[in-house]
Amino acid sequence: MALPAPRSAPSPAAVLTPAPTAGEVRVQQGPFTDRVQLTGLRLTASPSSVTGHVAIGSDVSDTLALEITAAYYDAEGRLLGTGTFHHAEEGEEAHAGQPHTGPRAAGDGIDFTVPADHLTGTPAGAVLSIPVLVNE
């Protein structure tokens, strides 16, 4: 039996309505937003990025893969560009039998930065989405 092809993340809206207020970071509701807690969200100016903290609250197993995307918008709500943060846990075999001691998305969570890539202007706000979340 063939598995269905994975769906790609939806493209960001060309125009954000209503336009963002200065420094605003919105979270787009999606299939994984109810499983995570995003806190401390902040739009930084130089270099343009969104920073924050993500914790997986619905599962205590290790997070194997996590992707957070940001769409950056100007003060009029026009899309300026995007960026992506990737996180992948290393398996136990990668630690030669030693337990993983680094940050994990499950439990206490991890800090993240989504850098903007090739912006066409100065962002006033951003919209985050989580297109990938894979637990053990």
Residues 6+ apart with CB under 8 A from 132: 9, 32, 65, 66, 67
pLDDT at 96 over 50: no
C-alpha closest to that of 127 among 55, 37, 32, 21: 21
Report pLDDT for 114: 97
pTM: 0.81
β-pairing, 49-56 with 36-44?
antiparallel
Rounded CA gap, 18 and 130, in Å?
Answer: 21
Bridge partners of 82? 71, 117
> Does the pLDDT of residue 7 top 90, yes or no?
no
